[in-house]
Structure 1
């Protein structure tokens, strides 16, 4: 069985999409974990006895010729979530959030 690499307690990612896209995808990516949206740019996900705190900010669009592509910087901070729980959560979360590409 392949072991996933470590999932740190906090990290940031550049994520494609608009805030509306992110908010549309987020409930499905969190699956059966309780999701709370305390502000327009933050969320808290309950995982076991702990939480994942998410914050995002809109970045300037990427340009490719005349095309513009929206993206966000998303900060992830796990609080009271052990390594195994982080790995299990992020495995599903990342698969759900994949969009297009190859």
Structure 2
């Protein structure tokens, strides 16, 4: 963690943002329970925190994976996709979202 913090401080100082302006955010983060979703889950957590959305639930994974795929293909972040995650989707047994 110290290495990451040092890197972030160095980078932020270079681009003119002083680390003293950083805020700590504390909220409950649901545990990601399957090993095959860990990468998309961490990316989703970072995105939600960036957009100040702390209502994060693991049952969004089918939509999260599809959204991240679209973002990669379009080479841009879908900002309004975070709004979709504020209400839980209905997930069927075959892992599709309605």
TM-score, normalisation: structure 1: 0.22
Structure number with the higher strand fraction is 1
| Higher RCO (Cα < 8 Å, 6 or more apart) | 1
Larger radius of gyration: 2
Structure number with the higher helix fraction is 2
TM-score, normalisation: structure 2: 0.23
